[in-house]
Amino acid sequence: MDKLQIKQALFLGSYLALPVLAWLLWRLRRRQWRLLAGAASAALLVFVWARFVEPQLLVVRETTLAGTGARTSLALVSDIHLGVYKRRDYLESVVGRLNALPVDAVLIAGDLTYEPDGASLREMFAPLAAVRVPVYAVLGNHDQQAPGQDIDAELRAALAAHGVEVIEGRILPGPGGTRLAGLGDRWAGKDDPDFLKAAPATDRPTLVLAHNPDSAVELAPGDAALVLAGHTHGGQIRIPWLYPRVIPSAYGFDRGERLFETPQGTVRTFVTAGVGEVGLPMRLFNPPVIDVLHLRP
């Protein structure tokens, strides 16, 4: 049995928790079982919440970021991870929420897939064609290299077919008088910012979209008014004191806004906790989120 089959077996096997929980609750009627069944039931209730409820509680979190030099509202989405745990119908629900938001653009900060196992990417990501505002994206480690299969070219073609602009290594005019620039995945060695440093000077604030927030370490304050990223999942299963140990950042990024001190100065970053899951199909104290960022001068 390969790793993908193991993940699929765990994903499906987790449904057994529901009849086990029902049996334990039934056993609570008997006095001699109450302590053991009560403790087991409480643990299973937490598991059921983290496995079946919280991963579906897509929330919208609004943040106003002053001092960016821009006036625009953006939806930041990351780590959709369609594949083993999420399917096209989940992306349809994400798009439905996006279309109800008063934003000027949608930014996708990578890791769109999670071992899609030969599925048609063009069909899988078709819901993105229905987004009513421009959509910009970069790819992530699960899209480009281990631990995922390299589906870079196929994914780019699928996104382009649905009107999504992949902006890695490019600078484009953005909403609200901004410039948008994209960095590729750091683990794949594709986040070289030299193109930013070589770009002509401008008064327009530059928003840098990256997958891994650690890419900010290579930037100077003049390279980016704001770095927007994902990758960390905010720990995904956010158990106090434990979750920081599993966040995949060498520089302590978590979620939300941070002023990061690089060797070249302070670079402002914002990290979204994402909307999908990897490893375990669970979230706890950390529901999937669409971050709406209101940028102000």
For every residue of 78-135, DSSP letters joined together read ----EETTB-HHHHHHHHHHHTTS--SEEEEES--EE--TT--HHHHTGGGGG-SS-E
User: Are the CB atoms for 197 and 94 separated by under 8 Å?
Assistant: no
Dump pLDDT digits (tens) for 46-93: 888 999 999 999 999 999 999 999 999 999 999 999 999 999 999 999
CA pair distance 290, 31, nearest whole angstrom: 46
Tokens 């990256």 -> residue = 210
pLDDT, position 24:
55
Q: Which residue has the higher pLDDT, 38 or 179?
A: 179
- What's the pTM? 0.90
CA pair distance 85, 263, nearest whole angstrom: 39
pLDDT, position 143:
93
Dump pLDDT digits (tens) for 142-199: 998 666 667 999 999 999 999 999 999 999 999 999 999 999 999 999 999 999 988 8
pLDDT, position 33:
55
